[in-house]
Amino acid sequence: MRRRRALWFWVFVGPFAAGLALFTYVPLLWSVGLSFFDAHNTVTPTDFVGLDNYTAMLKDGAFTGSLRTFLVFTAFIVPVTFALSLALALMVNRVRRAQAFFRSVFFLPAACSYVVAALIWKMSIFNGVRFGLANTLLGLFGTDSVAWLSTTHPPWYWLVIVTVRLWLQAGFYMILFLAGLQRIDPVLYEAAAVDGARPGWTVLRHITLPQLRATSVAVLLLLVINAFQAFDEFYNLLSDARGYPPYARPPLVYLYYTALGQGQNLGLGSAGAVILALIIAIVTVGQARWLRLGKSGEE
């Protein structure tokens, strides 16, 4: 009987587990292996170099610089997206008429790809020429045109990068917050009103935000993980036929060019991927611990 249950368990779970093992665990292990070899253009290298790839990677200013880029990017995008999506949710939640309309409008960009969004930003809004939308608006105030994507002092390109992601993602996180808001027991608000709390800031601080804690934790975690994965908008906004500018290179963009660019240095790229995977795992677990994820409401 027990044997038969085990058999059925593997009939259901087996294909998925085998595929996951093959396409996640095997590549990871292979990558760890490759990272100890000198592997140019080959996946079966013979030249063992020990930790050389790792030390090369950690000494490489471009790689550590890419980690710094990621930190700056995260420091921008996480709080801003969090605040905007929460604000949208609070407003949409209290709208009486046309709630579905506003929800759809803010959520609609989630259907767009980074490639398409980057195209609109790069070629139409922030194209850096006088007739671009942003520069036309600046012109109305008598300000000179800005070459948005190539201005590094001050770093105007950050404005372009951050607003793309904001437009694409805020609606998605708004949906999460809306779901959280709708789960709050109205009795809490009634009790607050009886106690004389005025609607607005006080209620928001003492009832709404504490009740949204679980959602907020989840949103923060997702935001950080997604920031780590940033690739599409950087690549599509900043690279052109001449290549990629040396600034604003997040880790994945750097790895892409290292491993699959001209040199095809798979050993070095693998070492970078392993380092990045470790950082992400540590940050995710640390963040989950710190925010005490899963302590409440889990089965």
Partner 1 sequence: MDDGLVRAGRALRAVVLVVLALLFLIPFYLLVRNGLSSEQDITSPEWAFFPRELRWGNVRELFDDPSVPFARSLLNSALIAVATTLGTLLLASLAGYGLARIPYRHANKVFYGILGTLLVPAAVTFVPTFVLVSSLGWVSTLRGLIVPTLFSAFACFVFRQYFLGFPRELEDAAQVDGLGHWRTYWLVVVPNARPVFAAVGTIVFLGAWNSFLWPLVIGQDQNAWTVQVALSSFTTAQVVRLHELFIAAGVSILPLLVVFLCFQRWIVAGVERSGID
Of residues 17 and 71, the one with the C-beta less far from partner 1: 17
At 48, is the secondary structure helix, strand, or coil? Answer: strand
Of residues 13 and 72, the one with the C-beta less far from partner 1: 13
Q: What is the distance between the alpha carbons of residues 203 and 190, in angstroms, rounded to a whole number?
A: 11
What are the start-end ranges of the H helices in the chain?
2-20, 26-34, 52-59, 61-94, 99-107, 114-120, 133-140, 157-182, 186-194, 201-203, 209-211, 213-228, 232-238, 251-260, 266-290
How does 99-130 read in b/e, with b if 16+ C-beta sit within 10 Å? Answer: eeeebeebbebeeeebeebbeebbeebbbbee
Of residues 187 and 299, the one with the C-beta less far from partner 1: 299
Q: How far is the CB of 65 from partner 1 (least distance, A)?
A: 18
Of residues 72 and 288, the one with the C-beta less far from partner 1: 288
Q: How far is the CB of 76 from partner 1 (least distance, A)?
A: 19
Q: DSSP characters for 230-274? A: --HHHHHHH-BTTB--SSS--HHHHHHHHHHSTT-BHHHHHHHHH
Is the peptide bond preceding residue 155 cis, with omega within 30 degrees of 0? no
Q: How far is the CB of 242 from partner 1 (least distance, A)?
A: 8
Of residues 77 and 255, the one with the C-beta less far from partner 1: 255
Q: How far is the CB of 41 from partner 1 (least distance, A)?
A: 10
Of residues 153 and 290, the one with the C-beta less far from partner 1: 290
Q: How far is the CB of 87 from partner 1 (least distance, A)?
A: 9
Q: How far is the CB of 80 from partner 1 (least distance, A)?
A: 14
